[in-house]
Structure 1
Amino acid sequence: MDTRTNAILTVLLREYDFTHRSLADEVNRVSARIFGRPGAATDRDVRRWVSGALRWPHARYLLPLTEIFGRPPEALGFVPRGSSRPPSPPVPSRPGQEEPVKRRAFLTASTAASLALVLRLEETPVRGRLTTTIGRLDAHFTAIGGGALVAVATAYLAWLRDTADGCTYGPRVEQGLYSAISGLCSSAGWAAYDAGDEAASRLHHANALQSGILAKDGRAQARAWSDLSLQSRAEGHHREALSINRAALQSRQARHNPRIAALLHSRLAIGHARLGDRRACARSLLAAQSAHDRFDTTAPPPPWLRFLDAAEISGLAAIAHRATGQLPDAEIATAQALNLLGPTLHRNRAYYRVQLAELQLAQGDTARARATATGIDTAAVSSPRIAQRLTAIHHQLTAG
């Protein structure tokens, strides 16, 4: 019997901060809501899923797992037996008939509530738990995209602000709360950006900077400045983005933290490229690579910087090369990013495969562009922005 370890589920447990016992408890809670009776999963069941001893769990566990992690069974590392597929959840019989609008509203609320439950958004604003929760939001975004997170992050942010305003704290606790609010604003900003709502994204990133200043948290401010520079670039304000990046690079955090420096130098390179300065772009790319070489691999990065690895550095370099018209170099760097990506980063993989198809199409290689676009799997990705770009590629291929 093939009992290869389920590497994807192993990584997800770590990213979502689940133990075997806590995941079993979560499965049982979700199962109770779906099937109307409590589940019976134990930590032994979870160990069997992780070890690969059980490749396709029973429906009473599989449906809750797909809801908890927000992706289909295959994207969780499970392997179907023959024609096995997760059945639809049972529909409870109720007297009367629900209005369609109310039914849709219920489903939307249920999805948001389920995701909030999965991320374990606590009821008390305790600093340590807040940081862990925001880390789970960042991990969820990195894995599948921000489309599903917008409503949850925004609602949680509003609740946290109301709670903070209605309580009295000492200076240290207050600064800790503002630091947490800054991180949450950054997460909400990225979710809104991925969903294509640039106005909401800019507002969240600006609030992240304001809260970071109130918290006197240099790292939160550096993160907010970095996000604002990307926001300006997305809106076509390339010189503004360049100025923000330069200012952020002068901060103490950028000077002493190679990860922050690598991110800022990479984005600075894109800014120079958009303004047509190839030499400055090349210098910034070299500085980003140099900062990457100084990463402390013995210490885990903060959750919001976990996405920044060799794959992301290559992907950002590809964007810079593309902006300067060096399409072959951009294609090589994009392919390198795809080769280096981890197995659970479904959003980034879809993003860079879309980028690869765009580059191939721009160079007139329609055959390879079509093959690349056809092979893009968005089933486990929640990103309207990526979906729109993929649709545009298919339209170009059809028109050609």
Structure 2
Amino acid sequence: MTRQRNTTLEALLTEYDYSHTALARQINEVVGELTGRTGRCADRHVRRWISGEARWPCTTYLLALERVFGRPAQAIGFVPRGKHSGAHLPAPPAPQEVDVHRRTFLTLPAAATVALALGIDQTPARGRLSMSDLDRIDRSIGRLDAHFFALGGGPLLSVCTAYVERLRDALAGCAYGERVEKRLHASISSLYASAGWAAHDSGEPRQAGLLHTASLQSALLATDPAAVARAWSNVALQARLEGRHREAVQITRAALEVRRVRQDPRIAALLHARLAIGRARTADRTGAARSLLAAEQAYDRVDTAGPAPTWLGFLSEGELSGLAAITHQALGHYDQAQAATVQALDLLPPAMRRSRAYYGVQLAEIHLAQGDREQAVHTIATLDATSLDSRRITGRLAAVQHTLTT
């Protein structure tokens, strides 16, 4: 009979992130559970199954394979040797059901609504995690980030922290390969980062700091330079918000020293723009100007037609203009700050409602700093903050309105 490669099994190894050796090891563990004696499967067996040299493994290994992949032998690509070879093969035990009585995912009605709408309560806590599972997790995180850009943090803090808890359950209770493990840590890092921003928006600075630190720890476990750069950037921002401006500059400079970070134009543009703000806050005018130029040059290298990581979906020419405005405002250059903020509002799309509200309030603050109360009143009147869920932005807006009425 002509040998035919088992491409189905080969694809499953890729999908479940198994090397030949790792699959053999997993089979031996399952054989031990089934028979009480550890199996003797080796990588050579897996190679023979994939090459088609062995088209129907022995019954013990076949049962183990069915248990590992949660499907019958022929759905794994195996071909019976004769018409009776698989006729009396016992059905594999059904994959353990995900606990029907899951812990209460969320308690706040608004948060529960967001979680349900985004479909994030679907990650298994037991069983085998595959790359497809991680793809679904990352898509859910992307939807969380999009929600934040549109409406602000609001209920996302409890959503993100509950989802982190679920992923940590998966980390402890599921089986997975090395590549899946690293991607899972990267996803957890991303969720911690989103939770940190949600805490920031909710007026919880101390919790935001803890979440950003946790994001950094998970990023280091993922050995993902982009995730590490994002975490360091958020830690630096937290330091700046707490008034530790020199520390913020030092952290951001350290992040930019990573070669792969410098080579990613989107991340480099964001870090240089935030470095400019930090330098402005430490009265380093020359350094701030140099960093703003570096941010522009990095963004010029961005392929805007190409896909961006979801967490960087906010970064655009409009956002860079807004960050430049913050730099000029910190330096006391109010005319330049006003021009850059107006440019940001002109460039930001309507869907970025949180950013538009943020820079709208910033423009009103700049008007007040220039003594132009009439223009500040006009700016506030045109500001669309309806349905925005950000205590941080609404608090600044209230402060401007209070100044205008006293």
1:231 maps to which of 225, 238, 246: 238
State the shift of 1:108 in Å: 6.1
Instruction: Give the C-alpha shift of residue 124 in structure 1.
Output: 2.2
Aligned equivalents of 1:178, 1:242: Cα separation in 2 = 27
- Within the alignment, does 1:193 sit opposite 2:200 as a pair? yes
Alpha-carbon contact 1:226-1:245 (below 8 Å) kept: yes
Q: Which amino acid aligns with 2:308?
A: P
Structure 2 partner of 1:45: none
Does structure 2 retain, via aligned residues, the 8 Å contact 1:193–1:201?
yes
CA contact (8 A) 2:266 2:299 kept: yes
Residue 127, structure 1, aligned to residue 126, structure 2: no
Distance 2:401 2:265 in 1: 39
Question: Which residue does 2:34 correspond to in 1?
Answer: none
CA distance in 2, matches of 1:246, 1:216: 19
Q: CA deviation at 1:240?
A: 0.6
- Tell me if structure 1 keeps the 8 A contact 2:357–2:384: yes
Residue correspondences, number: 293
Partner of 1:117: 116
Equivalent of 1:254, from 256, 261, 286?
261
In 2, are the aligned partners of 1:253 and 1:260 still within 8 Å (CA)? no
Query: What's the TM-score once normalised by structure 2's chain length?
Result: 0.71
- Contact map agreement 1:185 1:208 (CA 8 A) in 2: yes
Q: Are the aligned partners of 2:334 and 2:370 in contact in 1 as well (CA < 8 Å)?
A: yes
Query: Which sections of structure 2, spanning at least 5 residues, go unmatched?
Result: 1-105, 125-132
Gaps of 5+ in 1: 1-106
Alignment partner for residue 217 of structure 1, among 224, 229, 244? 224
Deviation at 1:169, TM superposition (A): 2.6
Structure 1 distance, partners of 2:330, 2:148, is 26
SS of the equivalent of 2:351 reads coil
CA distance in 2 between partners of 1:364 and 1:386 (Å): 22
1:262-341 map, 5 Å: 262-341=269-348
Distance in 2 between residues matched to 1:335 and 1:128, nearest whole Å = 38
Q: Of residues 152, 171, 192 in structure 1, which corresponds to 2:159? A: 152
State the match for 2:73 in structure 1: none
2:387 counterpart of 1:370: no
**Counterpart in 2 of 1:175?**
182
CA–CA separation in structure 2 for the residues paired with 1:387 and 1:378: 8
> Identity, % of aligned pairs?
55
| Cα deviation, residue 378, structure 1 | 1.2
**CA–CA distance in 2 between the matches of 1:337 and 1:122?**
36
Q: Is the 8 A contact 1:222 1:253 kept in 2?
A: no
1:72-117 deviation per Cα after TM superposition (whole angstroms, max 9, x unaligned)? xxxxxxxxxxxxxxxxxxxxxxxxxxxxxxxxxxx96332211101
RMSD between aligned residues: 1.3
1:298 CA drift (Å): 2.7
Amino acid at match of 2:110: T
Question: How far apart, in 2, do the equivalents of 1:198 and 1:145 lie?
Answer: 15
Could you tell me how far apart the structure 2 residues matched to 1:232 and 1:295 are? 28
Q: Is the 8 A contact 2:153 2:199 kept in 1?
A: yes
CA contact (8 A) 2:121 2:163 kept: no
Match of 1:139 among 140, 146, 158: 146
TM-score by length of 1: 0.72
The separation in 1 between residues aligned to 2:318 and 2:241, in whole angstroms, is 21
> Equivalents in 2 of 1:210, 1:281: separation in Å?
29
Q: Work out whether 1:166 is the aligned partner of 2:173.
A: yes
Structure possessing the higher relative contact order (Cα contacts under 8 Å, 6 or more residues apart): 1
Q: Is the 8 A contact 1:314 1:336 kept in 2?
A: yes
- Of residues 173-182 and 328-337 in structure 1, the stretch that sits farther from structure 2 once superposed is 173-182
Contact 1:346 1:380 (8 Å CA) reproduced: no
User: Is the 2:256–2:271 contact (alpha carbons within 8 Å) kept by the matching residues of 1?
Assistant: yes
